[in-house]
Amino acid sequence: MAKMRELKEERVYTDQEVEAKLKEELPKWYLEDGWIRRKYKTSGWKGTLMVINTVGHLAEAAFHHPDITASYAFVIVKLMNHAAKGISDKDFALAKKMEEVIMWQPGIEEGSPLEGTPDDPRFKYLKYD
């Protein structure tokens, strides 16, 4: 059985530090109103639900939960460490994992045996940026 981790005080980044870190490590994310945010564009409701479910799985596995806004063709993810009252390493780590999983394109990886989603409107569900 997993041990409960001790709660420790986490470093909270200043707005300037957050913006610099986002620019360097997560260029599609931005800081607004104390949250780091990312808008994932989808091709419709099916893609929106797939993004939401992926975010939900990763957040639950990490035990760090974002706010989510959903519409027919997009999902906005907002991260902020409520316990720390600001942006912490937890937010950056989860954002990186979301970016890695949601924006994965196996069809463009050299040597990958996976072909990726066909470039056909019938199958596309996510708009890669």
Any idea what the CATH number is for the domain that residue 33 is in? 3.30.1360.20
Of the candidates 70, 21, 68, the one whose C-alpha atom is nearest the C-alpha of residue 41 is: 70
In a domain, 128, yes or no: no
In a domain, 124, yes or no: no
CB 46 within 8 Å of CB 124: no
In a domain, 94, yes or no: yes
> pLDDT (tens digit, 0 to 9) for every residue of the chain, 129 residues total?
555 555 567 899 999 999 999 999 999 999 999 999 999 999 999 999 999 999 999 999 999 999 999 999 999 999 999 999 999 999 999 999 999 999 999 988 888 899 999 889 899 899 998
Which pLDDT score is estimated for 35?
98
Q: Is 73 exposed, middle or buried (0-12, 13-18, 19+ CB in 10 A)?
A: middle
In a domain, 117, yes or no: no
How many domains are contained in the chain?
A: 1
Which pLDDT score is estimated for 4?
55
In a domain, 6, yes or no: no
- The residue behind tokens 């994992």 is 97
In a domain, 118, yes or no: no
- The residue behind tokens 């990186």 is 96
State pTM to two decimals: 0.90
In a domain, 8, yes or no: no
CB 126 within 8 Å of CB 42: yes
Range of the domain at 70: 15-102
In a domain, 50, yes or no: yes
**Helical H segments across the chain, by residue range:** 15-25, 45-62, 89-102
The upper half-sphere exposure of residue 106, i.e. CA atoms within 13 Å in the direction of its Cβ, equals 8
Centre a 10 Å sphere on the Cβ of residue 29 and count the other Cβ atoms it contains. 23
Q: pLDDT (tens digit, 9 = 90+) per residue, 32-53?
A: 999 999 999 999 999 999 999 9
